[in-house]
């Protein structure tokens, strides 16, 4: 056994020695940028893809949109495939705020050499809307243009009348395309900046894709498998990079420079996205220069910080809100261990425990936000005061939130249910998705803070897998849980709706309904006056504070790259890096 | 012999069928929402949960789901693997060659070194070589493969830059992808490189194989050494070995011809199991070395509840196991004429 110990000591000391080695490396593969990630795309079809990994690879690299974000701003736009950003002043947006006109850029060619026309844009938008796979992104265009969330009726039958409507709403004339919305929709331009990817109509039809008519819709609509769409692994866009291959065996996507790009061709000749699940090899690849940019979890940050030739950007703004949700009406059908006895007997909670505002305010004032941010986020997050994250239009920097105050928290709990909560005590579970150490830490802080108030208060912390989580979410069984939300498009509505509208993603599982919030959210969508719209989101923030059904955090993003990467910049709306401006030297 | 093989082959579909039945029976313990996990991967899709369950019939009774799956199988289709982003059959076709190549390369040192060390240890019992082989095999075995894998990666890639992860370097990878310069015949990259006459690709692929091969050798060799040693010790005590020595045969002949051949019977069982085990994929080694083999896919599919993926993978591995055992039986008969196949 001593031999074994000696061996282990030897091996470990060797391994530790490795981390301290300095390298004066020359730039490896100077014209190829390799990004190493932990996840692979689900589909490269712009109408099917609804995950960050897919969007990161195709969006603005292979396919382009009508308008684009101006530098790091999420609210200002520059033209991309259109020649100017439509405004009411330049006549691009009609006075009633419903019609948007985009004049298309001349001389833009697809990767196969065919020129881009308004017909291609119309085809792309309709294709995006009517692909409408379950769990897909189509609602993002369907909602503003048709006022519908989906294209099928309750029985799952495709509604062809919607196609007639859409066909009339999107009109081409020469090289101009105009889109008429169902109602004025304030965030429409930010949607166009991310979700108006233009595909090549003629080429797509030749590949066996949708033929552009109502008769062909049945084949396009709700495909069963991602590979059922012709653009699943093939692409022909206008972007600065062409798709060479998406190799699902070695799990990499290879993009190559488009030398006939309508702007100056990109500096990089090739961009390669590779999947490496394990952090060990990912880190070593970064160290050896075989990877230029790598995905790193916050908990692994310290392991890349001192690598020579590596640049760590620890606090980039992103459009993410993390929430701790309280369920106002927990389901106990078939038993529910997460609410214990189901009664307020010190060994459980009743189903409507969190329906009492005093309980929710007690939780909000007991929670130690500073400790949570310091320990769970290692300082890389700010305390939220509502769903809309810091830096986004609609965020109120002066909005009130609860201060940690155990005395006030105790007072609130004393008031709850006529003192019964305080006298009897309670027991419930806080759930987080297992493996996420940040959320686990938040749950533990919650437990520690609540249990410190009163020896009769008991909180369990439980990690659940994503599959279990889906089940518990649908059955509304979790009394309190923690998960995040990343924006579909950079607009306050995309945060207010899922966090506060009674039909939104989280309130529907929390049984949270505030008619005033619902009304304000619906008003916020159609209000085109910036000042009035801001006031609506400020008001919603107040409601979020008063109702305290959710606690909010705005975590910032960590990006790690070799310092030889040039021309990189961040926009919170990006799904990855924008490679067009980047190079290596 | 032929009828023995034929009967064993008949076992194949039965085993495969049994395995799929078992998996679908286990499905019964999962709520429909949990089975939707492979399709719903982020919170933005949560509101589509009901639609997804309906679309894929996830709330139907298990026998209905099994029947639907079976129908797909009989139409020559094993279903869609959501984790591989490929049809299941294509996924097996894509991932298996990499694992096969790795297995072949790892099996050679495991067998040669294992049998040689085991024999040497038995012959020189309680001498230096015996102690040495014991210390090494036990210490290799006593740490899990991810520790050895990471250590090898950190030292031989991170420090020496000899054996990088993956299957090919960037230049080699791009070269192999270009059909005008390189033809993929077998997807065993070292073999394809030789068939294409590209020696540098051969060495590049070999360089990438070294890390996982070394890891697998270290963790798999111990058992082989121990079994060979004890089996050899037992044979060396047999009367016929004593007779052979008494006849005045040279020690080399006694060991190599008389003793070792008979000592190999348990080794064959073990090595066929090792071979099939390696072929079924070595999840941890493949993950650490980012080697795109079948084990990593199988484990990922199981994690993500990619049911068609897991089922296809399990069927495939079950088939391999049946074939591996058949191979072992045939080898028994060769090594020990007393064993007759019926």
Nearest CA in chain B to A7: B139
Q: What percentage of residues in chain A have a pLDDT greater than 70? A: 96
SS3 A214: helix
Most B-contacting residue of A34, A134, A286 (CB-CB within 10 A), to test interface? A134
Chain B residues whose beta carbon lies within 8 Å of the beta carbon of residue A278: 287-288, 290
Residues of chain B with Cβ-Cβ distance to A287 below 8 Å are 158
* Cβ within 8 Å, pair A15-B155: yes
Closest by alpha carbon to A201, among A284, A296, A116, A99?
Answer: A116
Model confidence band, residue A581 (pLDDT cutoffs 50, 70, 90): very high
Chain A: residue nearest B34 by CA? A467
* Chain B interface mutation, best of A243, A250, A270, A294, highest count of B Cβ atoms under 10 Å: A250
**How would you write chain B as a 3-class SS string?**
CHHHHHHHHHHHHHHHHHHHHHHHHHHCCCCHHHHHHHCCCCHHHHHHHHHHHHHCCCCCCHHHHHHHHHHHHHCCCCCEECCCCEEHHHHHHHHHHHHHHHHHHHHHHHHHHHHHHHHHHHHCCCCHHHHHHHHHHHHHHHCCHHHHHHHHHHHHHHHCCCCCCCCCCHHHHHHHHCCCCCCCCCCCHHHHHHHCCCHHHHHHHHHHHHHHHHHHHHHHHHHHHHHHHHHHHHHHCCHHHHHHHHCCCCHHHHHHHHHHHHHHHHHHHHHHHHHHHHHCCCHHHHHHCCCCCHHHHHHHHHHCCCHHHHHHHHHHHHHHHHHHHHHHHHHHHHHCCCCCCC
Q: Is the dihedral of CA A569, A573, A122, A44 positive or negative?
A: positive
Q: Which of residues 175-234 of A touch B (CB under 8 A)?
A: 222, 224-227
Q: Please indicate if any CB of chain B lies within 8 Å of the CB of A157.
A: no
The predicted pLDDT at position A192 comes to: 97
* CB-based contact A15 B42, cutoff 8 Å: no
The residue among B27, B282, B290 with the most chain A CBs within 10 A of its CB, best to mutate, is B290
Residue numbers of A between 452 and 471 with CB closer than 8 Å to B? 465-468, 470-471
Q: Mean pLDDT across chain A, nearest whole number?
A: 93
**CA–CA dist A451, A459 (Å, integer):** 7
Nearest residue on chain A to B36, alpha-carbon basis: A467
Residues A288, B155: C-beta atoms closer than 8 Å: no
Give the one of B44, B49, B161 whose C-beta lies nearest to A470's C-beta.
B49
Q: Give yes or no for a contact between A187 and A494, defined as CB atoms under 8 angstroms apart.
A: yes
Which tokens sit at A18?
Answer: 């490795």
Contact across the interface for B33 and A248, Cβ inside 8 Å: no
Which 255-284 residues of chain A touch chain B by CB within 8 A?
272, 276-278, 280-281, 284
Binary contact (B158, A287; C-beta < 8 A): yes
Task: Note whether B155 contacts A475, CB cutoff 8 Å.
Answer: no
Closest Cα to residue A318, out of A484, A197, A483, A507? A484
Q: If you measure CA to CA, which chain B residue comes closest to A507?
A: B47
> Is A222's CB within 8 Å of B138's CB?
no
A interface test, pick of B26, B42, B162 with most A CB neighbours within 10 Å: B42
3-state secondary structure A348-373: ECCCCHHHCHHHHHHHHHHCCHHHHH
pLDDT given for residue A13 in this prediction: 46
pLDDT single digits (tens) B145-196: 899 999 999 999 999 999 999 999 999 999 999 999 999 999 999 999 999 9
Distance (Å) of CA A96 to CA A186, A482, A533, B211: 12, 41, 16, 66
Lowest-pLDDT choice from A18-22, A340-344, B95-99, B129-133: A18-22
Contacts of residue A531, Cβ cutoff 8 Å, sequence gap at least 6: none
* Per-residue H/E/C for A137-201: CCHHHHHHHHCCCCCECCCCCECHHHHHHHHHHEEEECCEEEEECCCCCCCHHHHHHHHCCCCCH
Three-state DSSP class for residue A98: coil
Closest Cβ opposite residue A135 in set B52, B94, B305: B52
Q: Pick B46's closest partner by Cβ from A29, A222, A505.
A: A505
Min Cα separation B153/chain A (Å): 7
Average pLDDT value for chain B: 90
Closest by Cβ to A134, choosing from B55, B165, B287 = B55
Is 0.95 exceeded by the ipTM?
no
Read off the pTM.
0.91
Q: What is the pLDDT of residue B340?
A: 67
Q: Per-residue pLDDT for A547 more than 60?
A: yes
- Convert the pLDDT of each residue in A135-187 to its tens digit: 999 999 999 999 999 999 988 899 999 999 999 999 999 999 999 999 999 89
Residue contacts between A and B (CB atoms, under 8 Å): 155
pLDDT digits (tens, 9 = 90+) for B242-293: 898 898 888 888 888 888 888 888 888 888 888 988 988 788 999 999 999 9
């Amino acid at each position: 056994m001593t031999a074994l110990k000696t061996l282990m000591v030897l091996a470990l000391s060797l391994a530790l020695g490795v981390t301290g080695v300095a390298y004066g490396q020359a730039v490896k593969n100077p014209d190829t940028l390799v990004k190493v990630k932990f996840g692979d795309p689900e589909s490269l079809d712009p109408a099917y893809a609804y995950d960050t990994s897919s969007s990161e690879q195709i969006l603005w690299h292979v396919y382009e949109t009508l308008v684009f974000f101006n530098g790091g701003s999420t609210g200002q736009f520059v033209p991309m495939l259109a020649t100017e950003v439509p405004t009411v002043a330049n006549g691009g947006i009609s006075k009633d705020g419903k019609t948007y006109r985009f004049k298309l850029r001349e001389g833009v060619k697809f990767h196969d050499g065919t020129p881009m026309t308004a017909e291609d844009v119309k085809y792309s938008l309709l294709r995006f809307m009517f692909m409408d796979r379950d769990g897909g992104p189509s609602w993002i265009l369907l909602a503003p243009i048709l006022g519908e969330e989906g294209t099928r009726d309750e029985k799952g039958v495709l509604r062809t009348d919607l196609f007639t409507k859409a066909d009339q709403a999107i009109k081409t004339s020469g090289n101009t395309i105009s889109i008429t919305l169902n109602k004025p929709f304030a965030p429409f331009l930010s949607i166009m900046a991310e979700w108006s990817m233009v595909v090549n109509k003629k080429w797509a039809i030749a590949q066996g894709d949708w033929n552009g008519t109502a008769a062909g819709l049945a084949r396009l609509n709700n495909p069963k498998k991602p590979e059922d769409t012709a653009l699943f692994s093939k692409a022909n866009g206008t972007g600065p990079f062409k798709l060479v291959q998406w190799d699902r065996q070695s799990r990499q996507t290879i993009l190559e420079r488009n030398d006939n790009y309508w702007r100056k061709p990109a500096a990089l000749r090739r961009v390669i996205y590779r999947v490496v699940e394990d952090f060990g090899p990912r880190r070593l690849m970064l160290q050896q220069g075989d990877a230029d940019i790598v995905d790193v979890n916050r908990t692994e940050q310290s392991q890349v910080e001192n690598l020579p030739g590596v640049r760590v950007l620890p606090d980039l703004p992103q459009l993410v809100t993390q929430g701790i949700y309280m369920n106002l009406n927990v389901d106990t059908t078939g038993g529910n261990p997460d609410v214990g006895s189901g009664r307020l007997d010190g060994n459980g909670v009743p189903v409507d425990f969190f329906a009492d505002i005093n309980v929710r305010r007690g939780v909000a004032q007991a929670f130690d936000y500073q400790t949570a941010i310091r320990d769970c986020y290692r300082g890389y997050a700010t305390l939220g005061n509502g769903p809309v994250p810091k830096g986004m239009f609609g965020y109120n920097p002066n909005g009130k939130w609860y201060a940690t105050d155990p005395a006030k928290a105790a007072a609130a709990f004393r008031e709850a249910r006529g003192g019964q909560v305080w006298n009897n005590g309670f027991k419930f579970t806080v759930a987080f998705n297992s493996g996420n150490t940040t959320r686990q830490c938040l749950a533990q802080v919650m437990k520690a803070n609540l249990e410190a108030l009163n020896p009769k208060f008991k909180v369990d912390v439980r990690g659940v897998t994503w599959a279990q989580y889906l089940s518990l979410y649908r059955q509304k069984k979790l009394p309190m849980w923690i998960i995040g939300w990343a924006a579909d498009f950079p607009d306050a509505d995309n945060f207010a709706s899922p966090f506060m509208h009674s039909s939104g993603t989280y309130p529907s599982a929390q049984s949270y309904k505030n008619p005033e919030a619902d009304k304000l959210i619906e008003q916020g969508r159609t209000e085109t006056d910036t000042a009035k719209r801001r006031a609506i989101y400020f008001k919603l923030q107040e409601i979020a504070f008063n109702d305290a059904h959710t606690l909010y955090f705005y975590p910032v993003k960590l990006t790690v790259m070799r310092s030889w990467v040039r021309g990189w910049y961040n926009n919170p709306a990006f799904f990855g890096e924008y490679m067009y401006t980047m190079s290596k030297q | 012999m032929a009828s023995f093989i034929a009967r064993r082959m008949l076992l194949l579909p039965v085993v495969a069928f049994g395995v799929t039945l078992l998996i679908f029976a286990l499905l019964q313990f999962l709520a429909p929402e949990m089975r939707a996990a492979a399709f719903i991967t982020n919170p933005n899709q949560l509101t589509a949960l009901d639609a997804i369950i309906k679309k894929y019939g996830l709330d139907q009774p298990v026998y209905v789901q099994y029947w639907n799956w079976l129908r797909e199988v009989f139409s020559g289709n094993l279903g869609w693997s959501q984790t591989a982003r490929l049809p299941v059959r294509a996924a097996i076709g894509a991932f298996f060659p990499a694992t096969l190549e790795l297995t072949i390369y790892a099996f050679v040192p495991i067998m040669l070194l294992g049998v040689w060390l085991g024999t040497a240890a038995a012959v020189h019992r309680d001498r230096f070589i015996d102690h040495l082989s014991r210390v090494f095999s036990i210490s290799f075995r006593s740490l899990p493969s991810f520790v050895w894998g990471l250590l090898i990666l950190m030292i031989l890639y991170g420090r020496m830059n000899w054996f990088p992860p993956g299957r090919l370097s960037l230049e080699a990878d791009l070269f192999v992808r270009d059909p005008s310069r390189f033809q993929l015949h077998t997807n065993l990259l070292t073999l394809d490189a030789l068939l294409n006459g590209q020696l540098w690709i051969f060495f590049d692929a070999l360089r990438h194989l070294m890390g996982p091969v070394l890891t697998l050798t270290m963790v798999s060799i111990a058992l082989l050494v121990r079994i060979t040693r004890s089996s050899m010790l037992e044979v060396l005590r047999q009367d016929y070995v004593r007779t052979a020595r008494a006849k005045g045969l040279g020690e080399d002949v006694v060991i190599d011809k008389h003793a070792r051949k008979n000592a190999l019977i348990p080794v064959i069982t073990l090595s066929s199991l090792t071979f099939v085990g390696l072929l079924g994929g070595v999840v941890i080694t493949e993950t650490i070395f980012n080697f795109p083999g079948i084990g990593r896919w199988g484990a990922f599919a199981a994690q993500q509840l990619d049911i068609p993926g897991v089922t296809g993978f399990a069927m495939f591995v079950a088939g391999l196991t049946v074939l591996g055992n058949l191979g072992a039986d045939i080898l028994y008969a060769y090594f020990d004429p007393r064993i007759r196949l019926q």
